[in-house]
Each structure stands twice: as C-alpha cells, then as structure tokens.
Chain A
Amino acid sequence: MRTLTEIWKRYKLGPLVLILLVLFLFLLPLPRWLAPERKLVSNSLLFSLTQLFMLVTLASDWNMTGGFTGYIDFGHAVFFGIGAYGAGVMMAKAGWPFVPALIVGAVAAAIFAVLIGSATLRLKGPYFSIAMLGTFVAMREIVRVLRPITGGGSGLTLPPYLNRPLFYYVTLILAVLVVAFVWWLRRTQFGATLVAIREDEVGAEMRGINTTLHKITIFWIAAFFTGIVGALWAYQNTFIDPDVVFFESRTIELVMMTMLGGLGTVAGPVIGVTVIYWLRDILWSNFLQFHLLVEGVLLIVIVLFFPEGIMGLLNDPSATSLGRLWGRYLGEGPKDAYQSTETETSV
C-alpha cells in the first residue's frame, strides 16, 4: 500500500487519474452486462460508447500536436481518412484480413504525416492550419479521382463483421492506451520539448531543441493512432466513400472537444469528448432544429469565457473569465497573481 502511495506521488497522479481508472474498470465488463449471452450484436449503448472511445482516441491524437505543440491542425481527419482507405482498399481490393489491413492503414497515415509534416510544419500559426485544411480537401479529391483503387465516389464495401462487443473492447483498450501514452509522454523530456515549442519555438530551437524533428515525430505518432481509428471505423461501418470518410466536421469536432476539455492537458480531450458527445445526444433527441446553433454558441462561450477549458477551470478558476465571474458572484476579491510572488521572492 505504501508503494502504491509512493508511485502515486512520484508520478503526480491526480484524482482525475483515479476517476478515469474507476471508469475504465466499470466499462470493462459492460458488454457482458448488456449482452450476457452474446446475442446482442447491435446494442445502441454499446455502439454509442464505441463511437465515444474512438472520439477520445482521435481527440487525444489531435491534442498531441494541437494541444502540446500549439500547431492547430484543421486537417487532422486526413489521417483518419488514410487509415480508413488504407485498410479498406487492402480488404476490399486485395482481400487481406483486417489486422494486416489495419497496420497498412495506420502506417500509411504515419508515412503521409512525415511527408506532409516536413513541409507544413515549417509554417506557423494560421498558415499551418490552412495548409492542413487544404491537404485534407486535396486528399478527398485524390481519393475520389483514383476510382480503380479507391472506388471513387461510389466508395468501397468492406466484408461485414458484426461483433459489437469486440469493437467495443478494441476501441476501449485503444482509447486507454492512447490516453496513457499521452500521460506518459507529457512526463518525458520529449513531451516537455513539445510544450516548449508551443511556448516559444525560437527560444526552444536556440536552446538546442531540434524543433522540426520533434514536431514531425509527434505528428506521425498522432497520425499513426488516428490511422488505426480510421481503419477500425471503416471496418465497423462496412462502407466508405470520400464524403463520409473525409468529413470536414470531424476535425472541427475534435478541436471543439479538446478545447472544451482543456488544450494540452491529458484529461482534457477525455472530458471534452464525453461532455459534447452526450450533450449532442440530448440536443439531437430534444431540439433537433437547434442542435447546431447550441454547439456554435458553446464554442463561442469556450473561447470567450474559459479558453483553458474545463481542466483550466478546475486547476485555476481565477485564471478564467468564468471563474472570475463566479468568484465575484460568491463575493471573493480578484486574485493578483503577481502580488504575492513579488513580495515573497524579490531578490
């Protein structure tokens, strides 16, 4: 027990890790509860959760570049598409089984990330974002034009595999692996250099960090995981075409979810995805006409009142407009972050 406490302290494991761990243990036996005799292959809750786990993985992937390095990628779904098509083509055209096809899709996404990242990651700020959006649109059209390989606009039909619990487990484990990877990454020297790049790229380069190499490395790692999700999604969906795979809103969703949870934090994407996913379900079922309006308003509220997201609100409420408003409502005076430091530590 003492060792466990030491590990907990040494690796700075917060209460959120505990919550996520409990959640994971709760989610693990869920398919057996929902389908004890494995007869239920299309349980809607199971399907919803599978989608949720995929989104958690995707948002965590996006967070690796967008959150840690500060390179806001508006075309990240291109790697999802490459993963989906990589696996889809190998299965539908070459007759490969799923696992090697998935590996092909993920590796293709990673290789494409190295190639495109070598060019686009030299751009800064909005130029990078727009270049990636352009890459995404261009790739959709390339897939549409390459009819003999990709099936063009008619798409590809993959051999169906109707085993919901299996998809559930695979996506759950993948989500846990990716979130754990991000958590571990942030504690490594490499992870810290990514944050340094976000904070001051010129300074980081001047202090000996090969920023281009580090950006490309994290870019392909994120693309690899995104490619895996793309391949899983294609297999689960059994049909892919350029418009459903290369869907613009997919990246926008990831940006919004990660921002809501907290950019550059480990738990942020998990929280953001969960909140928006369930919120959307509620909006869809109750206010079908207004759901997009509500989502838009939510995005505005995030940017205006708590750009640091829910994690920022939890870590330091006084640093956000919403937290300050709440503090004022409760009658607390504004906190001067500089005051105490100046008096206590002036040399």
Chain B
Amino acid sequence: MNPFALPTREAAAPSAPHPEAAPLLEGRNVTKFFGGLAALNSVDFAVYPNEIMGLIGPNGSGKTTLFDCLTRVQHVSAGEIYFKGVDITDYKPYQVAHLGLARTFQVIRVYKKLTVWENMLLSRQWGGLSMRKKFHTPPAETEDRARGLVSFLLLDRVMDEQAGNLSGGQQRLLEIGMALMPDPDLILLDEATSGVNPTLIEEIKDRIRTLNSQYGKAFLLVEHNIHFISDLCSRVFVLNYGQKLAEGSPDEIMENEDVIEAYFGADGGDDDDW
C-alpha cells in the first residue's frame, strides 16, 4: 500500500549515485562570511538523484550554515547553488521549497500550538497554487496524503494533539512528515536523531530507507551519529572549519586520518568514540 496517496517513483532505486547522472543539488564555490569569519569557504559539493548522502563535521564546522545557504535561509557571500539544474542562488526560501527541496531543522520547528493534523496540512505543496484556491479548505488529496504520512510515521494516535505536547522524538517524526508533505525530491535532515531514543532512531532509519528505495527520495543528512550515517549513506562529505575535508564512502571516511584528527585531535581515538 502506498502511504502517500501518490504514485511511487522508480521502485527499488539504488542509493548510490549513477556515475553519469546530473546532480540534483549542486553547490559551487559556496562561501559564507559572518563578519570576518568564514563559516563556509569555497565549498564544492553535489547530491545526486535517489542518493542518501551524509554531511558530517565537528561542531562549528559549518554544516547547518551550509543547510541554511542551500535552502536560502541565509544568503551566500559568494558561489552558486543549483537545484535540478536551476540556479537558486537568489531564490527565496519558499521558491526553493516549491522546486522540491525540503528540510528539517537542528532545533525542531513545528507549529507547536497547532495540532499534528494542522501541521501536516500546512506543509502541503504551495507551489503553483493560486491565491483563490488558498481561500478554500484543503482538498481531499492533500488530506489523504497527510493521513497516509501520519500513519507511515506512526503518529495516528496523536493526530489531534497539539504538536508542542508531543515528545521530542515524535516532534522529530512530525517534522520529517512535514518535510515529506509537498512530495519533495530532496530532503535535508539536520540532526534528525538528536534527542531521540534508540528505538525511534531505528524507526526513522527504516522510514528513510523506504522513502529512498521505494519512492526515490534523495536525502542529505547532517548527523553526529556516525552509525546512523554509515548504515544509510552511500557517500559522506566532511566539513571542517567551513572547508571540505574529505568525501567518500562511510568506510573510507572512518579510516581517513584527516577526519579522525579533526574529530579527536592528533592522537586519534577509539573507534567506539564515533
């Protein structure tokens, strides 16, 4: 059964990028200054269709700033960003969302005083909707999609509950559901497992895998939980002090000396410390 009330895409798509595929999201020379501090310094990277890519780096390395620049919450100081081949460098955040790029936030951003159901309906695809149609109640297909996603994310029982009353883990799931509502092609998840119990982390992992393999959704994950990254991602991109430090498969990254040094200092660390 399709939980989204929408046709599935290419089923069982591999999570590794096709070598000749055009990037879904591409950053060229992305630079961001806060005063004299370079939070991002000439970062080049690409996320491919149907891929799950990890973005890691020590605290303050520029991961969330990169997310903010990609989704246009922050303006870039230099460089260009392309999504589906469209230059979105000067787009507004809502225009980026209309194109099919969704995200979640490091600090959970749900509409806390509204119910789970209202939160979901408010996250529908707004692109291409005329002002006249906005003055209607939500159409049946939007409600069906919201119902399907709420069920897929195990939130049926709290559908009429105020979002602010949910547990941290449930709010994370709700935020993921809200990101999925407009049927995006790429979802940026910013620390989706932070503050979530291990059982729920497994649930989230399972849902991401299903969305990727069965529905062709691409993901870019910012994570500190390296096991989460290594289980899901085909490729990992490492940032340090706003610069690209390394890029490769999770195994390559875990053995990369520069990465180990960035995380644990020159003496390295125990493998379990990840």
A binding-site residues for B, Cβ under 8 Å? 185, 187-190, 192-193, 195-196, 199-200, 202-211, 213, 217, 337-338, 341-342, 344-347
Contact = CB atoms under 8 A, between A and B. Distances in A.
B227 interface: no
B71 interface: yes
A200 B111 contact: yes
Report the interface size class on chain B.
35 or more
B157 A203 contact: no
A132 to B, nearest CB: 24
B214 interface: no
B241 interface: no
Contacts of B93: 202, 205-206
A207 B123 contact: yes
Given A187-B137, A189-B137, A207-B122, 10 more contacts: A185-B135, A188-B136, A196-B114, A206-B109, A207-B94, A207-B181, A209-B94, A341-B165, A341-B167, A346-B169
Q: With a 10 A CB-CB cut-off, give which of A202, A213, A346 has the most chain B CB atoms.
A: A346
B226 interface: no
Contacts of B94: 205-211
A337 B167 CA distance: 12
B26 to A, nearest CB: 20
Main secondary structure of the interface of A (DSSP, over half): helix
Contact of A202 (B109, B110, B133, B165): B109
A347 B127 CA distance: 33
Contacts of B109: 200, 202-203, 206
Given A192-B122, A195-B114, A207 B131 contact: no
B28 to A, nearest CB: 23
A337 B124 CA distance: 28
Closest 6 A/B residue pairs (Cβ): A208-B97, A208-B126, A203-B109, A199-B111, A190-B134, A205-B93
Contacts, number: 105
A185 B137 CA distance: 9
29 contacts: A187-B137, A188-B136, A189-B135, A189-B136, A192-B114, A192-B122, A195-B111, A196-B111, A196-B114, A196-B122, A199-B112, A202-B93, A206-B71, A206-B109, A208-B98, A209-B94, A209-B126, A217-B131, A341-B158, A341-B161, A341-B166, A342-B167, A345-B161, A346-B169, A346-B170, A347-B169, A347-B170, A347-B173, A347-B200
A15 to B, nearest CB: 20
A190 to B, nearest CB: 4
Interface string B85-105: 000000011100110001101
A188 B135 contact: yes
B125 to A, nearest CB: 7
A207 to B, nearest CB: 5
A345 B168 CA distance: 12
Interface string B221-248: 0000000000000000000000000000
A179 B110 CA distance: 29
A1 to B, nearest CB: 24
Contacts of B141: none
A68 to B, nearest CB: 12
Given A207-B97, A347-B169, A347-B199, A202 B182 contact: no
A200 B131 CA distance: 21
A344 B113 contact: no
Nearest to B118: A192
Interface in B109-156: 109-114, 118, 121-127, 131, 133-138, 154
